[in-house]
Amino acid sequence: MPLLEIRGLQTWFETRAGTVKAVNGVDLSIERGETVALVGESGSGKSVTAYSVLRLIEAAGGRIAGGEVLFDGTDMLRLDLASLRAVRGNRIAMIFQEPLSALNPVQSIGTQIVEALRLHRDIGLRAARERAVELLELVRMPSPRERLEEYPHRLSGGMRQRAMIAIALACEPDLLIADEPTTALDVTTQAQILDLLRELQGRLGMAMLLITHDLGVVAETADRVAVLYAGRVVEQGPVETLFDAPAHPYTRGLLDAVRIEELPPGSRLPEIPGMVPSLLALPPGCAFAPRCPRATPACDAGPPAMRAGGEGRLHACFNPWLSTVEGRVPA
């Protein structure tokens, strides 16, 4: 049984213009100890999927319209509030995209770590503060004991991110959701945070759902990758296999757009033509068909089902690229 299994997840937002189907049938699974990266353009549904797993989407004005989110065999969508709170921050923790917004500005870092510990563990105040120091040491926070009394606005971006990781890891979760954990950080700090997450994952044995648009981060960090487009997973599989031989035209377009070193001198960087369709009025068939160079009339008949693509991959495409590890070969 996978640690996390998402089946047919639908998360919608009601607006004056109509229903925005931000996530429209996502299927995804994560094994224990595994890192799965969720990638796609802005607005593809990556963060909405993560918020839906923890049922935080209601606070953002959304609603889960269908599907299942099975965590260790239990459907998160059916838990009462008390049972849900026992899981959130305890067995499943999350690193949010903007630490300055996610951290409480009127509480010290130490207070926030202690609160996370005492909410889920039978531990006294003094012991919790000592554990908070240990956690800050674990995430390589400079002068950890002194940082307990600091407020978020007095820390650098990298230090705030380390503080948020310390809070997330306070109860040694089985699953860590990292939503763009290196956004707005300089290149050096990004590398340090990614190295830290890999080290802590190996030490604690937790699974990780990594949400990012940076394919370089995916290549360095993830075991498997799922590609999201217009609220649906269009391809997934082992990172090395999928990067070497993508089957879905959208995945290939994303990878071609970052392979600068393979371009002949003086040539332009490839781009995917067109725009992502409006989530208010998705096409009746494949959502990528209006931008796809391999689209046929069959692509407009209905959304393609997920099917095996070889070498551990799955893809949702009527006209995939048939690829080999030696090189891509069109079908």
What does each of the 331 residues of the chain score in pLDDT, given as a tens digit? 899 999 999 999 999 999 999 999 999 999 999 999 999 888 899 999 999 999 999 888 899 999 999 999 999 999 999 999 999 999 999 998 888 888 999 999 999 999 999 999 999 999 999 999 999 999 999 999 999 999 999 999 889 999 999 999 999 999 999 998 887 778 888 888 889 899 889 888 999 999 998 888 898 899 999 999 999 999 999 999 999 989 999 999 998 877 666 666 767 777 888 888 999 988 889 999 999 999 999 999 888 999 987 778 899 999 998 754 434 444 3
Note whether residue 27 is domain-resident.
no
Number of domains in the chain: 1
Q: Side chain identity at 67, as an amino acid letter? A: G
Q: Cα separations (Å) of 43 from 55, 231, 276, 326? A: 19, 8, 9, 34
Note whether residue 80 is domain-resident.
no
Note whether residue 52 is domain-resident.
no
**19, 61 Cβ separation under 8 angstroms:** no
Note whether residue 267 is domain-resident.
yes
From the centroid of its chain, how far is CA 271?
A: 24
For residue 325, the model assigns a pLDDT of: 41
For residue 188, the model assigns a pLDDT of: 85
Q: Residue 168: in which H helix or E strand, if any?
A: helix 157-168
Burial (CB < 10 A; 0-12, 13-18, 19+), residue 325, is exposed
Tell me which residue of 97, 94, 86 sits closest to 121, measured CA to CA.
Answer: 86
Domain of residue 277, residue span: 227-329
Distance CA 286, CA 186 (A): 37
Q: Which three-class secondary structure state does DSSP give residue 129?
A: helix
Note whether residue 251 is domain-resident.
yes
Note whether residue 307 is domain-resident.
yes
**26, 54 Cβ separation under 8 angstroms:** no
Q: Side chain identity at 47, as an amino acid letter? A: S
Tell me which residue of 288, 53, 307, 46 sits closest to 179, measured CA to CA.
Answer: 46
Tell me which residue of 246, 160, 169, 241 sits closest to 201, measured CA to CA.
Answer: 169
Note whether residue 246 is domain-resident.
yes
Distance CA 244, CA 328 (A): 8
Note whether residue 173 is domain-resident.
no
